Amino acid sequence: MVLLNNVTSTSPGKAILFGEHFVVYGYSSLIFAIDKRLGIKLEYENSDGNSTKIRVSSNLGFSAEISDSKITMTNNVQLFVDIVENLHKIINYLIGGTNGSIVNGNQNMNISIHSEIPIGGGLGSSSAFCVALTGAFYYSFYNNLNKKFICDKSIEVEKVINNNTSGVDCSICTYGGLGIYSRSHGFNRFRADMRDFPFLVIDTGIPHNTFEMVNKVKRIKENDGEFFSDLCKQYESIFSFSLKSLETKNLDSLGMLMDENHSILKKLSLSNPAIEKIIKVCRSGGTFGTKITGSGGGGCLLSLVDIKDQSLVNGLLKKLDELKLNYFFVNPDDDGVKIENKTTTSNSFKTI
């Protein structure tokens, strides 16, 4: 078959607007793609015939080589090791290789990872990684971009590294835009114009463990079912009003609902003093509302900024700088996964 070489596929990250943790218990969540992307550049070259190699480079602070399933790292930080090990698992799954034979025994791969998305910050870096990598392989084999196939395959791929994934993150990373997800109804696009919604993402710099946060909520539910049920009812009301706020572009109402959602997450012990210090700064002026986005305990916060008074916004950013926090503005991304460049060559490979 004609193979496209030097393919770069990029996928947006995501932010959860409403519904962290409650989605686990059957409630709906609102999620949107953000215009921070993770890119995968895929190149093929002939091997020396003795072994196949995958060379990995990145802008994250590491590079690696995989040769017949043996991984050699330039930086053995566990986070980076996990990324490369997951990359190897995904490639084996996509290509169908066994015992370290990734392709037909005579092809090396050069894979470059470039991420604008903080790793482990609750902004969908893992799902964007799966979608971008699947997109690069699919385009190199089939010379087109079938988003339904890429979405379905990306969800399969993510289950290789996280068996409990719901599939919602891969869906929003593939298609872009804004969507509603629930376990009973799956993922559905929600039409609302968010193009001029001024969102600010603040990286707390605090590492967190999603599994631990999920288990923390589970224990609260088991130990005090009535308390948890009451919080669920509060969240249900917040979600319902949020749809109206989005449809009418009522930023004051949307921000208030974000604050209310955060208060519920705080009651679930998903915040901490460091997070609350940032929340207090954001609520002191310059924002409509601020909340945890993702599993909590650390990671990132999402703030809806009030740009009507630029002096308040400047004051907010100065305070965040004084706390030595990383932050960036994001816009909703409507494109989803896309191909940035490609070059034609000819070779025979197994297909995904």
Domain boundaries, the chain: 2-191+334-346, 199-330
Question: What's the CA gap between 250 and 44, in Å, rounded?
Answer: 50
For residues 259, 260, 265, 266, the Cα torsion angle rounded to the nearest 10 degrees is 70
Residue 341 near residue 347 (C-beta atoms within 8 A): no
pTM for the predicted model, two decimal places:
0.88
Contacts of 324 by beta carbon, 8 Å cutoff, 6+ apart = none
Three-class DSSP labels, the chain:
CEEEEEEEEEEEEEEEEECCCHHHHCCCEEEEEEEEEEEEEEEEEECCCCCCEEEEEECCCCEEEEECCEEEECCCCHHHHHHHHHHHHHHHHHHCCCCCCCCCCCEEEEEEEEECCCCCCCCCHHHHHHHHHHHHHHHHHHCCCCHHHHHHHHHHHHHHHCCCCCCHHHHHHHHCCEEEEECCCEEEECCCCCCCCCEEEEECCCCCCHHHHHHHHHHHHHHCHHHHHHHHHHHHHHHHHHHHHHHHCCHHHHHHHHHHHHHHHHHCCCCCHHHHHHHHHHHCCCEEEEEEECCCCCCEEEEEECCCCHHHHHHHHHHHHHCCCEEEEECECCCCCEEEEEEEEECCCCCC
Q: What is the pLDDT of residue 352?
A: 42
CATH superfamily placement of domain 199-330: GHMP kinase, C-terminal domain (3.30.70.890)
Topology of the domain covering 2-191+334-346:
Ribosomal Protein S5; domain 2 (3.30.230)
**pLDDT computed for residue 349 by the predictor:** 38
Task: Identify the pLDDT of residue 340.
Answer: 86
Q: Is the distance from CB of 21 to CB of 265 less than 8 angstroms?
A: yes
In this structure, of 156-170, 317-331, 332-346, the range with the lowest mean pLDDT score is 332-346
Q: Do residues 213 and 296 touch, judged by C-beta distance below 8 A? A: yes
Q: Residue 95 burial (CB < 10 Å; 0-12/13-18/19+)? A: buried
Q: What is the pLDDT of residue 49?
A: 65
Mean pLDDT computed over every residue of the chain = 89
User: In the predicted model, is pLDDT for residue 191 greater than 50?
Assistant: yes
What is the distance, to the nearest Å, from the Cα of residue 39 to the centroid of all Cα atoms in its chain? 13
Find all residues with CB under 8 Å of 125, minimum gap 6, and list them: 13, 38, 115, 117, 118, 119
Percentage of residues in the chain having pLDDT higher than 70: 92
pLDDT 10s digits, 60-94: 999 999 988 889 998 888 888 888 998 888 888 88
Mean pLDDT on 170-175: 94
pLDDT tens, residue by residue, 317-338: 999 999 999 999 999 999 999 9
pLDDT digits (tens, 9 = 90+) for 204-256: 999 888 888 989 999 999 999 999 999 999 999 999 999 999 999 999 999 99
**In 10 A of CB 254, how many CB atoms?**
22
